[in-house]
């Protein structure tokens, strides 16, 4: 059966041999229904234990989902999976994703995804159009920034081509290197830019005019219309923000979707048409500022209070994009860590230059040096802050305050991330999400802490909901008011982490935007539970999926398929990396530190109680069907998810 | 309504107008079937749009040797009568806005979805707004 929404083919490119093959997407359907789900299956089948991020045989998987590029709102994203170079203590299997318009273009070019293996003998780029793919010479592009690379390829191929490229950081295998498209849409976390660079793959250019089938066009249109109209501003905020009139006047600030299909005005995504450069004098810059990039100028009154100012901050953010560096790592991890080292009197200079976060010259020196592996100190930082601390033998204690685990800086965790406001007990769920992952888990799991805080009257005094209302609405999905109760402590925290785990897979597999889904709270319904037509908010994705594809799954079946992905990913981690509960517990010391914000209902700041958290972990393992001692899927669980053959490969590492 | 207007400076490049239009008019996600097109200028942020203005005295109609393009009195849109259309393509060449497209071996144009354009509703940023009949 041919399902709607899919382009129908996967492109497999081996850069060592120059082999280009096409595989039917159908081989993985419907079970591994797109993006992250499909990647998990391929990874299990094709990544043997011992494969490192930079090994030529290590596959770089860039996959869309059935909803990508369709009329489904917020559906422009693309998922990147493979062995992560940023991963710590091991380069292990992980994922990332990016927005923009590249994924939709790939699908119109006839492919649901690309799996790249091998290493080209010299720099190349892939030129993909309407079910064809050519490996093109990219030697003249090597060394260029991400922006110029895109422009050069567009000049050659056409302005309506979409390009996913790496900059010098990726070329130089910097472990915090991004691969990106347009001016701000990056596969930011995971170091997949470095993986691309290790394959001598500078860019992937796509263009297409092929149609995508739709199973039930009228129904799909109507579902999309309802979902689009129900959506609220992103970041869990109930109301839409306005533009900054001064910046509109001065810099041409405007709304710009950070990905195709976006239907809300969010807090962060802004395009600037004319910003005078500070370092490149006489030049005007333009580009997008999304997400954490708004922090580059520095924000007075926050932990991130350096004084670059808007114009220099904008330019530095663009430099980081162009060089191909991970904004989150730089702003939430690396730079705060450097500042700590300075205030602690450990260092004043790096590679001969004074650490001065108010100076754009310093930032440029820092970032360009990292991406090009210049100087001893910046070369160490090219390995990511966590590895740099080990290499340089400094800042270990400070690292523990900023980096929860896995080589990633904090994110909605109440500790290291000090720009996102989340207090106890909500970060207990974040801690669980961190414990069970191989990376910063929040990028596709904002739906808990961010949503609750954003919808609360603490963050939204005028538009927010009462705690009582938040508890009542959330109990519809979590089954208990304790799961979102600000005074519930450790009670009821395992289930939200479990539930949002499946939702994270769903978002990365369908694909839909993490900041908007799952729809839980609403100001458009009387009881404030998201609803449209006869659909409940948490079912929106499933209704779009079924009417588009013709795969007639229920909510439970889509959930089951999504949880199956988590089981297979965990089995892969056990088989290839010997992952166990001991690894999961490594997040505990970080969270035992005192939180950064205070729960006003409790009146004091707290750190994690490790013993209590271990009991929450027990609950989580029980929900997942993993044994408590090792944190691994049991044989019974693997059978429940029809993974018997896979379980056999785990041998003695699985509990009967 | 008789037409819609586009304010390109409000366009966020979300492409919802294109995906919804193509699906409404072709039953698939076929951008070639979309009757509104967006040229994304990703590095300048200044997007431009190709769409039918529902001209008062349209060039496409004047170019048609068969008299196949006529006004639908209910919607106010210029529509193609495919019973008369010989698919000569002169209308496509004649449109000064490039808004008469060639799809599945026939000319296609925006017919305002019978009076309630799907693109207007899909745009959540007021970049595409209906212009009510001034009569």
What is the pLDDT confidence band of residue A654, given thresholds at 50, 70 and 90? confident
Both A397 and A431 in a single domain? no
Residues from chain A that touch B40, judged by Cβ atoms under 8 A, are 101, 160
Structural domain includes residue A178: yes
CB contact under 8 A, A220 and B31: no
User: Between A and B, how many residue pairs show a Cβ–Cβ distance under 8 A?
Assistant: 102
Q: Do B9 and A182 touch (CB under 8 A)?
A: no
User: Phi and psi (nearest 5°) for A40?
Assistant: -60, -45
Q: Residues B32, A209: contact at Cβ < 8 Å?
A: yes
State what percent of residues in chain A have pLDDT above 70.
Answer: 100
Residue A278 domain flag: yes
Which chain A residue has the Cα nearest residue B41? A159
> Would you call A45 exposed, middle or buried from its count of C-beta atoms within 10 A (0-12, 13-18, 19+)?
exposed
pLDDT at A656 over 80: no
Do residues A98 and A64 both lie within one domain?
Answer: yes
Subunit contact B16:A160, Cβ cutoff 8 A: no
- Determine the Cα–Cα distance for residues A477 and A536; give it in Å rounded to an integer: 10
Distance CA A275, CA A258 (A): 19
What local confidence, expressed as pLDDT, does residue B131 receive?
82
Same structural domain for residues A472 and A587?
A: yes
Q: Cβ-count burial of A400 within 10 angstroms (0-12 exposed, 13-18 middle, 19+ buried)?
A: middle
User: Are residues A192 and A163 in contact, defined by beta-carbon separation less than 8 angstroms?
Assistant: no
Mean pLDDT on A561-565: 98
Contact B33 A211 (CB under 8 A): yes
Asked if the model's pLDDT at residue B39 lies above 90, the reply is yes
Share of chain A above pLDDT 90, in %: 95
pLDDT-derived band at B135, boundaries 50, 70, 90: very low
For A220, nearest residue in chain B (alpha carbons) = B23
Q: Tell which of B45, B48, B126 to mutate to test the A interface (max A CBs under 10 Å).
A: B45
Q: Flag if A254 and B9 touch (Cβ within 8 Å).
A: yes
Burial classification of residue A49, based on how many CB atoms lie within 10 Å of its CB (0-12 exposed, 13-18 middle, 19 or more buried): exposed
The residue among B12, B30, B110, B35 whose CA lies nearest residue A69 is B30
Domain boundary among A207, A222, A242: A207
As for how many domains chain A has, the answer is 3
Cβ within 8 Å, pair B20-A224:
yes
Q: Are residues A175 and A240 in the same domain?
A: no
Quick check: is A295 in a domain? Answer: yes
Q: Full-prediction pTM beyond 0.95?
A: yes
Q: Are residues A398 and A457 in the same domain?
A: no
- Whether residues A174 and A310 fall in one domain: no
Within a domain: A288: yes
DSSP letters, A185-227, are: EEE-TT-HHHHHHHTTEEEEEEE----B--SSHHHHHHHHHHH
Q: Residues of chain B whose C-beta is under 8 A from some C-beta in A?
A: 9-10, 12-16, 19-20, 23-24, 26-33, 39-40, 42-46, 118, 121-122, 124-125
Is residue A48 within 8 A of residue A491, CB to CB? The reply is no
pLDDT (mean) for A77-105: 98
Which tokens go with A649? 């490969």
Domain boundary among A207, A222, A239: A207
Q: Rounded to a whole number, what is the distance in Å from the CA of B124 to chain A's nearest CA?
A: 6
What is the average pLDDT across A445-462?
94
A641 closest CA partner among A578, A559, A553, A573: A559
Is a pLDDT exceeding 60 seen at residue A216?
yes
Residue A276 burial by Cβ neighbours in a 10 Å radius (0-12, 13-18, 19+): middle
Domain assignment present for A32:
yes
A246 and A201 both lie in a single domain = no
Q: Are residues A56 and A150 in the same domain?
A: yes
- Per-residue tokens: A51: 């494969």
The chain A residues in contact with chain B (CB within 8 A) are 5, 69-71, 73, 76, 100-101, 104, 108, 147, 150-151, 159-160, 182-183, 209, 211-214, 217, 220-221, 224-225, 228, 252, 254-257, 260-265, 271-273, 286-288
- CA of A236: how far to CAs of A445, A469, A485, in Å? 12, 15, 17
Q: pLDDT tens digits, residue range A569-619?
A: 999 999 999 999 999 999 999 999 999 999 999 999 999 999 999 999 999
Q: Which of B15, B42, B118 sits opposite A261 (nearest CB)?
A: B15
From chain B, pick out residues whose CB is under 8 angstroms from the CB of A182.
Answer: 42-43
Whether residue A186 is contained in a domain is answered as yes
- Average pLDDT rounded to a whole number, residues B36-50: 94
A384 and A351 share one domain = yes
Residue A100: domain span: 9-207
Set of chain B residues whose Cβ sits within 8 Å of the Cβ of A252? 45
Q: Do A140 and A87 fall into the same domain? A: yes
Eight-state DSSP code of residue A519: P
Residues of chain B positioned with their CB less than 8 A from the CB of A151: 43
* pLDDT at residue B133, rounded to an integer: 55
Domain B3-125 grouped into CATH 2.60.40.10: no
Q: Report, as an integer, the average pLDDT of A313-337.
A: 98
A221, A263, A272 ranked by CB distance to B124: nearest: A263
User: What's the whole-number mean pLDDT along residues A556-560?
Assistant: 98
List pLDDT tens digits, range A126-156: 999 999 999 999 999 999 999 999 999 999 9
Q: Which backbone phi and psi does A19 adopt, to 5 degrees?
A: -80, 135
- Average pLDDT, whole number, for chain B? 94
| Sequence ranges of the domains in chain B | 3-125
What mean pLDDT comes out for the span A345-353?
98
Per-residue confidence (pLDDT) for residue A623, from 0 to 100: 98
Chain A: nearest CA to B133, how far in angstroms?
A: 25
Main-chain phi, psi angles of A155, to 5 degrees = -60, -35
Contact between chains at B13 and A261 (C-beta distance less than 8 A): no
Selected for mutation to probe chain A from B8, B9, B16 (highest A CB count within 10 Å) is: B16
Taken as a whole, chain A contains a residue count of 656
Alpha-carbon span A585 to A484, nearest angstrom: 23
Which of B9, B19, B25 should one mutate to test binding to chain A, selecting the residue with the greatest count of A CBs within 10 A?
A: B19
B32/A211 CB distance under 8 A: yes
pLDDT digits (tens, 9 = 90+) for B74-109: 889 999 999 999 999 999 999 999 999 999 999 999
Q: Using CA atoms in the order A257, A263, A268, A270, what is the torsion angle rounded to 10 degrees?
A: 40
Q: Please name every residue paired with A162 in a beta bridge, in sequence order, or none if there are none.
A: A206
pLDDT digits (tens, 9 = 90+) for A264-322: 988 888 999 999 999 999 999 999 999 999 999 999 999 999 999 999 999 999 999 99
Q: Is the pLDDT of residue A640 over 80?
A: yes
Contacting residues for A474 by C-beta, under 8 A, at least 6 apart = A452, A481, A483, A484, A520
Of the partner residues B29, B40, B122, the one whose CB lies closest to the CB of residue A212: B29
The pLDDT tens digits of the residues spanning B104-114 come to 999 999 999 99
By Cβ distance, the residue of B23, B42, B125 closest to A71 is B23
Residue B134 has pLDDT above 60, yes or no: no
pLDDT of A239: 86
C-alpha–C-alpha distance, residues B3 and A7, integer Å? 34
- The C-alpha of A235 sits at a distance from chain B's nearest C-alpha, in angstroms, of 18
Q: What is the mean pLDDT of chain A?
A: 97
**Structure-block tokens of residue A433:** 């999400």
Instruction: Name the DSSP letter for residue A14.
Output: E
Chain B residues with beta carbon closer than 8 angstroms to that of A214: 23, 27-29
CATH number at residue A147: 3.60.9.10
Q: Quote the pLDDT of residue B31.
A: 96
What are the phi and psi torsion angles at A567 (to 5°)? -65, -45
Region A369-388: mean pLDDT is 98
Residues in a beta bridge with A460: none
Q: Are residues A116 and A21 in the same domain?
A: yes
Q: Do A101 and B44 touch (CB under 8 A)?
A: no
Chain B residue numbers touching A209 (CB-CB < 8 A):
31-32
Helices (H), A480-585: 494-510, 540-549, 555-577, 581-584
CA of A484 vs chain B CAs: smallest distance (Å): 31
Peptide bond into A89 cis (omega under 30): yes
In a domain, A15, yes or no: yes
**Which of the residue ranges A84-93, A228-237, A455-464, A492-501 would you say has the lowest mean pLDDT?**
A228-237
A553 — pLDDT class (breaks 50, 70, 90): very high
Please judge whether B44 and A273 are an interchain contact, meaning their C-beta atoms are less than 8 angstroms apart.
yes
In the predicted structure, residue A527 carries a pLDDT above the cut 70: yes
DSSP A520-535: -B-SSSTTSB-EETTE
Residues B124, B109: Cα–Cα separation, whole Å: 23
With a cut of 50, say whether residue B1 has pLDDT above it: yes
Interface touch A217/B23, C-beta < 8 Å: yes
Token pair, residue A173, equals: 């295998």
- How far is the alpha carbon of A469 from chain B, nearest alpha carbon, in Å? 28
pLDDT in tens, A458-501: 999 999 999 999 999 999 999 999 999 999 999 999 999 999 99
Q: Which residues of A touch B13 (CB under 8 A)?
A: 101, 256-257, 260
Residue of A nearest to B19 (CA): A71
| Of A183, A255, A287, Cβ closest to residue B12 | A255
- Residue A622: CATH number of its domain: 1.10.599
């Amino acid at each position: 059966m041919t399902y709607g929404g899919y382009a129908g083919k996967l492109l497999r490119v081996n850069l060592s041999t120059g082999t280009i093959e096409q595989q039917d997407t159908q081989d993985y359907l419907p079970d591994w229904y797109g993006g992250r789900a499909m990647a998990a299956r391929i990874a299990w089948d094709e990544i043997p234990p011992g494969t490192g991020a930079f090994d030529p045989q290590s596959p770089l998987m860039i996959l869309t989902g059935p909803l990508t590029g369709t009329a489904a709102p917020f559906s422009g994203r693309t998922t990147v999976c493979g062995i992560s170079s940023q991963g710590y203590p091991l380069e292990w299997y992980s994922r990332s994703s990016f927005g923009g318009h590249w994924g939709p273009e790939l699908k119109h070019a006839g492919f649901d995804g690309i799996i790249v293996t091998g290493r080209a003998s010299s720099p190349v780029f892939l030129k993909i159009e309407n079910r064809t793919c050519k490996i093109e010479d990219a030697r003249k592009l090597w060394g260029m920034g991400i922006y110029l690379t895109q422009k050069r390829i567009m000049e050659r191929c056409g302005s309506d081509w979409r390009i996913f490229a790496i900059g010098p950081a990726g070329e130089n295998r910097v472990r915090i290197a991004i691969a990106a498209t347009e001016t701000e849409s990056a596969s930011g976390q995971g170091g997949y830019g470095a993986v691309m660079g290790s394959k001598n793959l500078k860019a992937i250019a796509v263009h297409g005019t092929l149609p995508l089938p739709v199973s039930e066009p009228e129904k799909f249109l109507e579902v999309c219309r309802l979902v689009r109209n129900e959506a609220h501003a992103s970041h869990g905020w109930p109301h839409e923000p306005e533009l900054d009139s001064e910046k509109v006047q001065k810099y041409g600030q405007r709304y710009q979707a950070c990905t195709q299909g976006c239907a809300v005005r969010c807090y962060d995504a802004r395009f600037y048409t004319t910003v005078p450069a500070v370092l490149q004098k006489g030049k005007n810059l333009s580009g997008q500022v999304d997400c954490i990039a708004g922090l580059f100028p520095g924000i007075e009154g926050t932990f991130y209070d350096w004084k670059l100012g808007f114009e220099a901050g904008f330019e530095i953010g663009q430099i980081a994009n162009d060089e191909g560096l991970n904004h989150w790592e730089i702003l939430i991890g690396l730079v705060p860590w450097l500042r700590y080292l300075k205030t602690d009197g450990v260092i004043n200079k790096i590679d001969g230059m004074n650490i001065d976060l108010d100076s754009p010259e310093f930032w440029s020196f820092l970032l360009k040096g990292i991406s090009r592996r210049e100087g001893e100190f910046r070369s160490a930082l090219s390995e990511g802050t966590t590895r740099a601390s080990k290499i340089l033998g400094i800042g270990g204690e400070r690292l523990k305050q900023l980096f929860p685990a896995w080589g990633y800086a904090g994110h909605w965790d109440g500790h290291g991330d000090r720009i996102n406001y989340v207090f106890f007990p909500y970060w207990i769920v974040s801690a669980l999400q961190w414990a069970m992952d191989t990376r910063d888990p929040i990028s596709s799991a904002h739906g808990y802490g961010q949503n609750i805080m954003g919808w609360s009257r603490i963050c939204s005094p005028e538009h927010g909901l009462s705690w009582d209302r938040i508890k009542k609405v959330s109990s519809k999905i979590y089954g208990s008011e304790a799961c979102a109760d600000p005074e519930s402590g450790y009670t009821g925290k395992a289930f939200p982490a479990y539930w949002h785990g499946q939702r994270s897979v769903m978002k990365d597999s369908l694909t839909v935007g993490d900041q908007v889904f799952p729809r839980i709270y609403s100001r458009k319904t009387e009881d404030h539970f998201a609803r449209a037509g006869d659909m409940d908010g948490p079912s929106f994705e499933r209704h779009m999926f079924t009417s588009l594809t013709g795969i007639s799954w229920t909510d439970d079946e889509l959930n089951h398929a999504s949880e199956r992905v988590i089981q297979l990913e965990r089995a892969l981690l056990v088989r290839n990396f010997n992952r166990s509960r001991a690894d999961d517990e490594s997040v505990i010391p970080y969270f035992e530190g005192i939180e950064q914000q205070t729960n006003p209902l409790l009146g004091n700041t707290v750190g994690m109680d490790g013993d209590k958290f271990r009991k929450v972990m027990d609950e989580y393992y029980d929900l997942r069907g993993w044994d408590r001692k090792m944190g691994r899927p049991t044989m019974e669980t693997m059978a429940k998810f029809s993974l018997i053959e896979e379980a056999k490969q785990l041998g003695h590492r699985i509990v009967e | 309504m008789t037409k819609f207007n586009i304010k390109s400076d409000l366009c966020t490049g979300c492409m919802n107008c294109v995906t919804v239009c193509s699906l409404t008019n072709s039953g698939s996600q076929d951008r070639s079937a979309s009757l509104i097109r967006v040229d994304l200028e990703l590095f300048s942020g200044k997007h431009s749009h190709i769409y039918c203005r529902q001209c008062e005295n349209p060039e496409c109609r004047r170019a048609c040797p068969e008299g196949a393009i006529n006004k639908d009195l209910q919607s106010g849109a210029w529509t193609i009568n495919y019973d008369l259309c010989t698919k000569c393509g002169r209308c496509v060449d004649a449109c000064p806005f490039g808004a008469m497209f060639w799809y599945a071996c026939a000319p296609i144009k925006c017919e305002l979805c019978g009076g309630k354009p799907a693109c207007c509703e899909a745009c959540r940023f007021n970049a595409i707004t209906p212009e009510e009949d001034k009569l």
